[in-house]
Amino acid sequence: MTQALPTTSSVPAKSQVCVGLSGGVDSAVAAAVLCQQGHHVTGLFMKNWDEDDGSEYCTAKEDLADAQRVADHLGIELVTANFAAEYWDNVFESFLAGYQRGETPNPDVLCNREIKFKQFSRYARSLGADYVATGHYARAAVAGDGPALMRAADASKDQTYFLLGVNRDELASVIFPLGDLQKTEVRAQAKSLGLHNFDRKDSTGICFIGERRFRDFLARYLPAKNGVIVDTAGRTRGEHMGAAYYTIGQREGLGIGGQRGSENAPWFVIGKNVAANELIVSQDSGLLMQDYLVTTHLNWLADEPPLPSRVYASTRYRQRATPATLTLRADGALRVRFDSPQRAITPGQYLCLYDEATNTRCLGGGVIRSFGRHAH
């Protein structure tokens, strides 16, 4: 696939920019960089999850306090907005539906699409902003075919995977101030600027789950439905607490070690039979290696290429993108065949595509629906 070489998009001086302030060091430095560049900056703190369940795990109150300290230090206004209803309707309900189908959904991709680059953008425009900015490690650019999303300079922190679902038109008015910085530089800048959160630990996981056990949280919305664990020959190997609580490739927490007549080797989840409420396991980790997947309704962040087409592709965050070929199936779905087998491809997770020429431009992606392996 031939791609036009991108150029960094220019933002007019003294633009009105609304930056998402989360309370963390990344968004704080993003705001500081915009101020240093002379823009008129407003901070926006987004509350996406209600805490009326009395949970001590979601840190929204502490995050807001940190965001306010950053805004006060930089001398900018901080506005707050509650998108909890939109999050529930457009992200969380989809998250639950995915688990009910036996998938392992990724709410962060949906959150970026539906909240941070839809609701946030609309709200920012209502405040008079010309641009929105976030602390994501990515780069917005202009290519020969229009707005483009590029990998960040810090490969270890690159977050283009989480941005693959954003509407392409939004990229024309997005600024990623950290795109050319290393994480170490971001922390160093925060410290030199006197920002109180320069050494704050990076947030992990999803706010509405926090540090609690994932299974305990999910059980509140998807009650446990016990079933059997079977091997590939259909032999019962144990019981599970609900197939929704397990994911492809999982080996911990199965509780089926020491099986009579089996090797002293770990068991892996290799599939689910949702209709029969069965979890399928094997001690052959080679069964986790698949060389193609099927996806539908791709979100393109570049002009849709003629098919078949060559790309780089990854099936999870921080996975090294690998060469693959895209082809169109008769039913309109897209088949992605990898040059080499990939481990634990998981329905519900996202496929992320990059250009073949440089493996730098994010072309978009879609939800993984199924996978398989060709006979060799």
| Residue 147: alpha-carbon gap to chain centroid | 20
Residue 56's pLDDT band (cuts 50, 70, 90) = low
Distance separating alpha carbons of residues 88 and 95, to the nearest angstrom: 9
The whole model's pTM is what? 0.92
**Do 7-192 and 226-283 show the same overall fold?**
no
More confident residue, 210 or 186: 186
* Boundaries of every domain in the chain: 7-192, 226-283, 288-372
pLDDT digits (tens, 9 = 90+) for 134-183: 999 999 999 999 999 999 999 999 999 999 999 999 999 999 999 999 99
What is the rounded average pLDDT for all residues in the chain? 91
pLDDT at 38: 95
CATH domain 226-283 topology = SH3 type barrels. (2.30.30)
3-state class (DSSP) for residue 346: coil
- Residue 38: beta bridge partners? none
Radius of gyration of the chain (CA): 22
Q: Count other Cβ atoms within 10 Å, centred on residue 155.
A: 11
CATH domain 288-372 topology = Elongation Factor Tu (Ef-tu); domain 3 (2.40.30)
Distance separating alpha carbons of residues 51 and 34, to the nearest angstrom: 32
What is the mean predicted confidence (pLDDT) over 113-132? 96
Asked if pLDDT for residue 60 goes beyond 90, the answer is no
Distance separating alpha carbons of residues 264 and 259, to the nearest angstrom: 8
Asked if pLDDT for residue 93 goes beyond 60, the answer is yes
Beta-carbon-side half-sphere exposure of residue 81 (alpha carbons within 13 Å): 22
* Residues annotated as catalytic (active site), given as ranges: 111, 207
The residue with tokens 């300079």 is 153
End-to-end Cα distance, the chain: 27
Q: What is the DSSP string of 211-268?
A: TS-HHHHHHTTS----EEEEETT--EEEEES-GGG--TT--TT----S-TTS-SS--E
What kind of architecture, by CATH, is found in domain 7-192? 3-Layer(aba) Sandwich (3.40)
